[in-house]
Structure 1
Amino acid sequence: MADGSGPDGGSGSGGSGSDGGSVEVFEEQRPRLTGLAYRMLGSVQEAEDVVQEAYLRWSKATGVEVPAAWLTRVVTNLCLNELGSARVRREAYAGPWLPEPMVTDADPAELRESVSYAMLTLMERLTPAERAVFVLKEAFGYSHREIAGFLGESEANTRQLHSRARRDLTAGPRFRPSEPEQRRLIDRFMTAALEGDLDGLTSLLSEQVTVWSDGGGKVTAARNPVTGRAKVLRLLTGLMLKHADAEPRMLSLNGEPALAFFWDGLLGAVTFFEFDTTGNLTAARLILNPDKLSHL
């Protein structure tokens, strides 16, 4: 996208426009703003809180020439402020902090890669400014000139931030099976788990497979990542014994298949998987914290 033109048709504010404060205009923008905030924060609740704060500011605004750009700038900067305090909270979090899963079926296909669970997890290694630039550029197609206006940075600095973000993100695992292949592999995993087939599970695990469990101190979960085939197998065996009556179900979350487990009719866990080129499981992220599942 050439500099100076963006999906909002510009980035200015002020002037004699009369859209400021219009509920209808804001509601048209809400899904896009929520998607932006979620990619920035990795939390559905925090994203919704930010968008609501943006609405309060919008309700008092007047003379906004380009509402979409004005709102994008406000939401981006609110997210940057939120990320500062969120990182402090996450450092004191009980065990690994994982992003909240989200239903993204309504998102255009070109936006789904930026909201994949693996990508959200990788983005946790970025600084808030790098994350903002990466999301605005890669997911929403803004030019560096527009991003510089949103952030109050120079265009040269946003290019540098974008370059650092891409370098850090491409250092992580990038292979992702097709959706049918993901479903086939997850189905194999689910079948082996349900049948207590330890040999079948073992054959699916890579030697250095790692499992992260996010219980948030609300439910029992491993406080540290579990790495290695033998240790992960013991963890899975323990979970199978503890939740023998769990009902598994394949869901589409974050633009990819995920395995959900229901206990007594209630959603108790969601698991995202990563596989290597040979179809072996290299990583699994298990969200158990009920606060991160209630919106589903």
Structure 2
Amino acid sequence: MDVFEEHRPRLTAVAYRMLGSLADADDAVQETWLRYSRTSEVENVAAWLTTVVSRVCLNMLRTRERRRESLGVTVPDPVISGPDEDVAQADAVGLALMVVLDTLSPAERVAFVLHDMFAVPFEEIAALVERSTASVRQLASRARRRVRAAAPVPDASVARQREVVDAFFAATREGSLEALVAVLDPSVVLRSDGGVGSRHTVVLSGASTVARQAAMFGGLAGFARPALVNGAAGVVVIGAQGVLSIMGFGVVEGRIVSIDVIADPARLAGFDLSAVGS
């Protein structure tokens, strides 16, 4: 058990990036533990566990793809921590990147996550997905191009990110469309998951469009509490009746390129927000 616990953080990181769901990631790690507990001898524990958890995740992704229905916007589960906490690298995966990963095929996602994020050799991934090494290289390359196009690398300084996010909320409180547009990238994308059938489930793009939408909710800006959302500057909006939304921001070169919002009451009730107070 102690040996498995040493590897749990890495396995959880792999599973979360594969699945985008904290509950599903926990299930995948638990299934890996059950398989490990029934194995008498493992020569390379780290490699064996990574392979097993990846295979479990791949099966879950394939099942999810077969059952996938058009349910509108779905923002992956965020990892929330206090604004001053040191975030483990396992959690430092922006929501915008997680959204892009959700658009990949199961094989593409496995190839990209394992190779580009965890340096697993293509030969090992090929055996896992039952494809040739050359095919897996192509899968990872295709996924990499989509990720780079849709989820550019955010500014490294969280403090700088916070300045930009603070400027966004200051402009929102003032209702200044000009100030909002100034802090938004011209191609900014706002994704809001308000739950199936909710009017708060939308995808908006363009600085002017997103600025107008933000100005409509200026009254809520005063309830925004700073937090780290997947290791980046974000907020949790907490009103008198409880948590209203979780917002993750992608800041690139001093401008906001993405805003990912969870406003689904059912989902919000399941998050541990003790780090920011609830």
Secondary structure (helix, strand or coil) at the match of 1:142 reads: coil
Q: What residue number does 1:258 align with?
A: 234
Cα deviation, 1:206-241, whole Å, max 9, x if unaligned, reads: 4443321101238x4433312344433332233234
Matched, 1:170 2:148: yes
Cα 1:247–1:28 shift into 2, 3 Å? same
CA distance in 2, matches of 1:193, 1:84: 41
Q: CA deviation at 1:103?
A: 4.2
Matched, 1:184 2:160: no
Q: What residue number does 1:286 align with?
A: 261
CA distance in 1, matches of 2:151, 2:61: 24
**Contact 2:96–2:260 (Cα < 8 Å) also in 1:** no
Matched, 1:274 2:250: yes
Q: What residue number does 2:135 align with?
A: 157
**Contact 2:126–2:136 (Cα < 8 Å) also in 1:** yes
Secondary structure (helix, strand or coil) at the match of 1:281 reads: strand
Q: What residue number does 1:72 align with?
A: 50
Unaligned stretches of 5+ residues in structure 1: 1-22
- With the length of structure 2 as denominator, give the TM-score of the two structures: 0.83
**Contact 2:177–2:212 (Cα < 8 Å) also in 1:** no
**Contact 2:18–2:109 (Cα < 8 Å) also in 1:** yes
Q: What residue number does 1:17 align with?
A: none
CA distance in 1, matches of 2:126, 2:188: 40
CA distance in 2, matches of 1:226, 1:65: 51
Q: What residue number does 2:172 align with?
A: 193
Q: What residue number does 1:134 align with?
A: 112
**Contact 2:186–2:207 (Cα < 8 Å) also in 1:** yes
Q: Which of 103, 116, 123 is residue 145 of structure 1 equivalent to?
A: 123
Cα deviation, 1:7-52, whole Å, max 9, x if unaligned, reads: xxxxxxxxxxxxxxxx222222111111100000111111111111
CA distance in 2, matches of 1:226, 1:121: 15
Question: Percent of aligned pairs with the same residue?
Answer: 36
Q: CA deviation at 1:106?
A: 4.5
Where does 1:185-224 land on structure 2 (aligned, <5 Å)?
185-217=164-196, 220-224=198-202
CA distance in 2, matches of 1:98, 1:192: 25
Give the count of matched residue pairs. 266
Where does 1:97-136 land on structure 2 (aligned, <5 Å)?
97-103=74-80, 105-108=86-89, 115-136=93-114
Output the amino acid matched with 1:121.
V
Q: What residue number does 2:12 align with?
A: 34
Unaligned stretches of 5+ residues in structure 2: 273-278
Q: CA deviation at 1:155?
A: 2.3
CA distance in 1, matches of 2:39, 2:241: 45
> Which structure has the larger Rg over C-alpha atoms?
1
CA distance in 2, matches of 1:74, 1:291: 31
CA RMSD of aligned residues (A): 2.6
Output the amino acid matched with 1:97.
T
CA distance in 2, matches of 1:144, 1:190: 44
